[in-house]
Structure 1
Amino acid sequence: MAITVGLLFVVGVVVRLILLQTDLPQWVANKNEVITPLTAWERVQEGLALKKNMISPYDGDIFHETPILLKIMEVVNNFPNGSKYFFVILDVWMGLLLLSITNKFAGYKLTQQAEGVKKYSVDVEKIILRSKDLKHLGSYVIAVHFLNPYTISTCLARSTASVSNLAIIYLFYYMLHNKLILCTFFIAVATYQSFYPFILCAPVALYFYSHQTSSKSDRSYNSSKAIFSYTRTCLLSIGWLMALLGLSCVMEGSWSFLYSTYGFILTVPDLSPNVGVFWYFFTEMFEHFRVFFICVFQINAVVYTVPLAVKLRKNPVFFLYMLIFLTSIFKSYPSYSDVGLCLTLLPLWKHTFSYMRNSFVVACMYICCTVFAPVLWHLWIYAGSANANFYFAITLVFSTAQIFLVTDLLFAFLRREYDLYNGTTHKLENGETTQIILE
């Protein structure tokens, strides 16, 4: 496995370095599927130019990234071709973290299984996890990370979304390593960068509470001990976030960056087309309905936290992944970088793949959308032989593919959990074999 992983690292880096020498980076850097008004490298350059000329980058409507990230990019830009190789280094960095995550995750799943195995049905031999089943997990995750066209295009376009992805991966990493302080710090960093990750406090709080209790029988998720644990996690995250915002205020000299960053995410003033569902809907929206539907759409991005917290309270790591996936679909400015992160982490749940029902359909939808999105954009903007409806249709199919995938994975996970406790062979009272159907 070590040789395979090492080879994947080398291939992933070489592919990126070769493609950086072509015209492809310039092409993908202008693709609405890859970059957004928040993450475009061109806007970072504008922000750096304004700052260099002693003008606040937040005075206009060009730059919407955070002050700390702008400072980091200023340092990176001081090196020859620094920005190009910085994002390659980020991908390698994420790869190393992902490798550690897979190792810890394998141990976590085996420990979790050992805690509940006494309650499992007797005929679940086929679906019980063993060490050999998780042996090559790291290879699968690293392969998807380095060879995924979505992550490659994000790297080539120098999208600042890579920094947000790094923060989320660090969050995952420190959660599995049981480091509460550092985990909450990276919740704050991810929230500071892209706002929506504040909801990740819920699965992290559940994880650290369950980690504190010695056995499942001692866990009561609404006890005073549990509430204290949840409150501690949330307060630590808020404290770190306040520190980051305070540092940003000191760096910028005012709080004006708040509206240009989080205000921009929440009010969605820039309706540039992307792979999300906001842009087309609000282009067609009457102005006096706008505030109401902005609230509806933004609530939709986070509202699934509550029902999922109830259903998946005993599986906080899977709960965390579900929230990452859902926010990548319903956030106001999604891009391929969000999809790339979700697909990279998907092999962690390969033990549920045999229960999935729509894998082929979803794969075909992803491929078709990825191929036809730039084609329909060209027909609309350059050839003039199509209109906005064509491009919106393909982005709607792309969002549908993601929804199909996340719901199918949730079904597969829950169905496997059901089979673990009730057996894989189901019979009626008269002894006749039957099939379980989700309604």
Structure 2
Amino acid sequence: MSSSYSSPLLRLGVVLPALTVLKLSAHLAGVSDVLLHDHQLSSPLTSFSQLQEGLYLFRHGIDPYNGGTFRHSPLLLALFSSVLPSSKVFMATLLALCDAVAAWALVRTWRARQNVPSSARDGLVAAAYLLNPYNFLPSLALSTSPLESALLLLAVMFASQKKAAPSLLSLAFLSHLTPNAILFLPPLLLLLLTDPHSHLASPQKISFKRHKVLPLAVEFLLYVGVLTVASTLVAGNLNWVAQTWGTWYAFTLPDLTPNVGMWWYFFTEMFDHFRPFFLMVFSVHLLIYVAPLCIKFQHDPLYALFILTGILATFKAYPTLADMGLFLSMISIFPETFPYLRFPIVTSLLHLHSALLLPLFHHLWLTQGTGNANFYYASTLVFACSNGAAILDCLFAGLRIAVGKEVDGYEVVQE
């Protein structure tokens, strides 16, 4: 292994606290005030300002879900109105700790995949998450996206360690915050029933105890049911269902605030009589990837979950940069695929290009007023292309690694 990996500066015990302190310092320096209302870093479902608005109404006995603007889970209402303070300083500290937990969970997943108690690469894996600007900036903007990323990585970590209850409970919490997360359940169940080690280079049909799938699925639904009852008790009625889950499940898309996704502009320009059809198409579109990925990568469900993370980050209704940041950070735990990436330089340049265009066109349109919505939407399309290039490159590498080269040609080792 390269000596640079064993450098004292890249050890996990140095990287994790140092970068966490760096993030807290940026918060205390006032960076959060500049980024707080940036549409690229927070969405209506993760905005700190909207969370504060809902908390204010809730504390004064007003149902925050009656106004049609508050879309956070009642679990966050309960958490920040009774247990945790909702000040900017505390929120900054909490989100920095969430990022540290997420990086730690990613490292533990990497160790479980390599079947080692520790690794010289641990610090690099943690740094790949904490220094990724797509993760760093949403945390500075006080978006709740770092909490969602931490919950997903905790669910994956526990599944890699064969701890079913905490894994499914973490996913249940995440599903209440962002309902699309329920699509991670099939690959997570496969991961619980198989081993997390890399089998991309030697794929074979796996055999697992299928009779254990149903009990695990029922356990997950039980956790979701308990959290649903708790949320209803907190909210005092069922209005929260339409305002939170309904944003995703009822094909309504009620808030067209600009974001880095592709939905908002499309439905802003959509004729009303076409809207229900295309809402259904866009929503169902997210479902079609789950089964093919789980079947094709059944020998390595962790890789299937990784690819699905990128797909949801690209096509979900209310994405932020943190969604794609999670996908790009997870690439670090699959180094065996690096030699098989076709166009890593092109993909990196595409992301650099979109990372420059997004804030530029956002500023021209919403700050200076010298542009229009087409400016910003053009940059989000470039961002979507760069995301698609990254997903396709990783998908190709995960399949190509199973093809061994011979002297006279290629031999497919996949069964």
Contact 2:160 2:195 in 1 (8 A): no
Q: Distance in 2 between matches of 1:32 and 1:219?
A: 43
What amino acid is aligned across from residue 51 of structure 2 in structure 1?
V
| Residue in 2 that maps onto 1:386 | 371
Q: Does 1:242 align with 2:225?
A: yes
| Residue in 2 that maps onto 1:70 | 77
| Residue in 1 that maps onto 2:157 | 173
Instruction: Name the SS for the 1:303 alignment partner.
Output: helix
Q: Distance in 2 between matches of 1:73 and 1:174?
A: 26
* 1:275-314 to 2 correspondences below 5 Å: 275-314=260-299
Shift of 1:306: 1.4
RMSD of the alignment, in Å?
2.3
Deviates more, 1:34-43 or 1:196-205: 196-205
Contact 1:137 1:348 in 2 (8 A): no
| Residue in 2 that maps onto 1:8 | 15
1:378-423: CA deviation from partner (whole Å, max 9, x where unpaired): 212233322211111110111111111011101001100222xxxx
* 1:127-206 to 2 correspondences below 5 Å: 135-206=119-190
What amino acid is aligned across from residue 253 of structure 1 in structure 2?
G
Contact 2:183 2:287 in 1 (8 A): yes
Q: Distance in 2 between matches of 1:219 and 1:248?
A: 39
Contact 1:206 1:316 in 2 (8 A): yes
Structure 1's unaligned 5+ residue stretches are: 109-130, 428-432
Contact 2:74 2:240 in 1 (8 A): yes
| Residue in 2 that maps onto 1:56 | 63
Q: Distance in 1 between matches of 2:398 and 2:407?
A: 18
Contact 2:354 2:382 in 1 (8 A): yes
Identity of aligned residues (%): 27
> TM-score with structure 2 length normalisation?
0.89
Instruction: Name the SS for the 1:54 alignment partner.
Output: coil
* Cα 1:418/1:229, change in 2 over 3 Å: farther
Q: Distance in 2 between matches of 1:217 and 1:277?
A: 37
Q: Does 1:17 align with 2:1?
A: no
* Cα 1:18/1:217, change in 2 over 3 Å: closer
Q: Does 1:86 align with 2:99?
A: no
* Cα 1:336/1:78, change in 2 over 3 Å: closer
Contact 2:135 2:322 in 1 (8 A): yes
Give 2:406's match in structure 1, choosing from 425, 430, 435: 425
Contact 2:41 2:320 in 1 (8 A): yes
| Residue in 2 that maps onto 1:98 | 106
Shift of 1:99: 2.4
Shift of 1:31: 1.2
| Residue in 1 that maps onto 2:346 | 361
> TM-score with structure 1 length normalisation?
0.85
Q: Distance in 2 between matches of 1:276 and 1:209?
A: 34
The size of the alignment, in residue pairs, is 396
* Cα 1:219/1:352, change in 2 over 3 Å: closer
What amino acid is aligned across from residue 194 of structure 2 in structure 1?
S
* Cα 1:357/1:49, change in 2 over 3 Å: same
Contact 1:31 1:374 in 2 (8 A): no
Contact 2:403 2:411 in 1 (8 A): no
| Residue in 1 that maps onto 2:3 | none
* 1:200-215 to 2 correspondences below 5 Å: 200-210=184-194
Q: Distance in 2 between matches of 1:234 and 1:415?
A: 32
What amino acid is aligned across from residue 311 of structure 2 in structure 1?
L
What amino acid is aligned across from residue 124 of structure 2 in structure 1?
Y
Q: Distance in 2 between matches of 1:138 and 1:102?
A: 8
Q: Distance in 1 between matches of 2:88 and 2:257?
A: 32
Deviates more, 1:409-418 or 1:198-207: 198-207
* Cα 1:252/1:356, change in 2 over 3 Å: same
What amino acid is aligned across from residue 292 of structure 1 in structure 2?
F
Contact 2:358 2:379 in 1 (8 A): yes
What amino acid is aligned across from residue 322 of structure 1 in structure 2?
I
1:301-337: CA deviation from partner (whole Å, max 9, x where unpaired): 2210011122111111111111122111111100011
* Cα 1:217/1:97, change in 2 over 3 Å: closer
What amino acid is aligned across from residue 189 of structure 2 in structure 1?
A
* Cα 1:290/1:317, change in 2 over 3 Å: same
Q: Does 1:43 align with 2:28?
A: no
Contact 2:148 2:177 in 1 (8 A): yes
Contact 1:43 1:63 in 2 (8 A): yes
1:287-314: CA deviation from partner (whole Å, max 9, x where unpaired): 1111111111111122100111221111
Q: Distance in 1 between matches of 2:407 and 2:373?
A: 50
| Residue in 1 that maps onto 2:199 | none
After the TM superposition, list the runs of 4 or more consecutive aligned residues in structure 1 that deviate by more than 4 angstroms.
Answer: 216-221, 433-436
Contact 1:275 1:395 in 2 (8 A): yes
Instruction: Name the SS for the 1:246 alignment partner.
Output: helix
| Residue in 1 that maps onto 2:334 | 349
